[in-house]
Amino acid sequence: MLTETVMRRPIRLICLALALLVSGVLAPIVATADPARALRPVPDPDRGLLLDDGDVQPLREAVTQSLAWIDRQPPKRRLVFGPVAVTAAQQARGLRRLLELLGDEPGREVLIARILAEFDLLKSVGGPGGEMLVTGYYEPVIDAAETESPEYPVPILGVPDDLVEVAAAPATAGPENGRVIGRLEGPRIVPYWSRAEITAGRLARRGRVVAWARDPVDVFFMEIEGSGTLRFPDGRELRLSHATTNGRPYRSIGRLLINEGKIEREAMSMPAIRAWLAANPADRARVLHHNESYVFFRYRDSPPVGSFGVPLTPGRSIATDARLFPPGALAFVRTERPTAAAAGKVEWTPVSRFVLNQDTGGAIRGPGRVDVFWGRGVEAELAAGLMKQPGELYFLVPKDSQLR
């Protein structure tokens, strides 16, 4: 039976790590982007810009989850919104006020008027050309078993016994920043094993197997999504979430396949990658190993949890670059998503809604990227697999914010 709880176990070897960092043996994971330049104010915004197309109750849930995180922060912690900043206490007051504004379920135009009376609007500057790429992610469900067999040969791993996480600098963004991840080799911390080395069995008994899967591609994409549900042959389900990584850099296999001419850039999607890997089994390991980053999982008894430790709300939670955008913040996204139509066709429908910044990810880098969480099921998988749409991303900051 799967009775052992796989827990995240950071080891704080501060003195040793600092010595290694100074000597250059291991470089710290630190923020290199400038959050002051990521957002710009939007003076006198058009009210039609913020028309929300979603239900109010999920928005309330997402705001409540952000408050749960913010209330755990030091009241004077500064949260940076581009050229302005608020304290955690001010942000908490702003989100509580938002819950009050939502209390009587006002119409969309009334809600916009209320929000703009109490929040200032800032827009993400986007990528190098001002563009914003909006993608989607979801909670996958994959077949798994408790024991290894020819049908279930792929291990899903919890945090290994020898993995070391050390604070390298004060954490100013998400949990993937300000840390060194590695393993001890004598008195030294060295980089942890790569994906190729882990799948080749280098962990041996140091690895903690959570369960066994049918398909390595399923496990790989569960890592990309950051969470998932295992479905056992008897119908039982077990939910997993991201515990930590091996500290190696994330490298896109989609970009690799484009650069090699295997898949055209315009045709690139998660279904396209899956289809190519299924049609080219001899190249599967090489392509998967291109991404040296490896995710270790832990059990959970709640919906998917974002990188800030709060449950995600389908259609209302987003992932952004934690170096640039404030955690837990109220935002607004405009884009489009796919929906299934007749005869296997796909239609694209507009998306325009308030969201909460509650997650981050290795592939979500820069001010021109945002990932929308869609939950689980066929429609969620479709959105996660096909979305790579242009869009706009805004953040809302309480009006009592201050210029930095």
pLDDT digits (tens, 9 = 90+) for 163-182: 999 876 544 433 445 578 99
Give pTM, 2 decimals.
0.76
115 with 360: CB under 8 angstroms?
Answer: no
pLDDT of res. 334: 97
Tell me, what amino acid is at 50?
A: L
pLDDT of res. 177: 52
CA dist 72 and 88 (Å) reads 9
Q: Largest alpha-carbon pair distance within the chain?
A: 64
157, 334, 358: which is closest to 244 by C-alpha?
Answer: 157
Q: What is the CATH number of the domain that holds 365?
A: 2.40.40.10
227 and 238: one domain? yes
pLDDT of res. 235: 94
Q: Which residue has the tokens 């989609």?
A: 254
pLDDT of res. 168: 63
113 and 64: one domain? yes
Instruction: Tell me what percent of the residues of the chain surpass a pLDDT of 90.
Output: 71
191 and 232: one domain? yes
Between 327 and 24, the higher pLDDT residue: 327
268 with 388: CB under 8 angstroms?
Answer: yes
When divided into structural domains, the chain yields a total of: 2
Q: What is the mean pLDDT of the chain?
A: 87
Tokens of 388: 């790579």
Angle CA(9)–CA(15)–CA(21) in degrees, nearest 5? 95
148 and 246: one domain? yes
In this predicted model, what pLDDT tens digit does every residue of 334-350 receive, in sequence order?
999 999 888 888 999 99
Which domain does 94 fall in, by range?
Answer: 35-137+305-403
CA distances (Å), 208 to each of 155, 163, 205, 293, 391, in order? 9, 11, 7, 18, 41
pLDDT of res. 401: 66
Mean pLDDT, to the nearest integer, of 248-252? Answer: 92
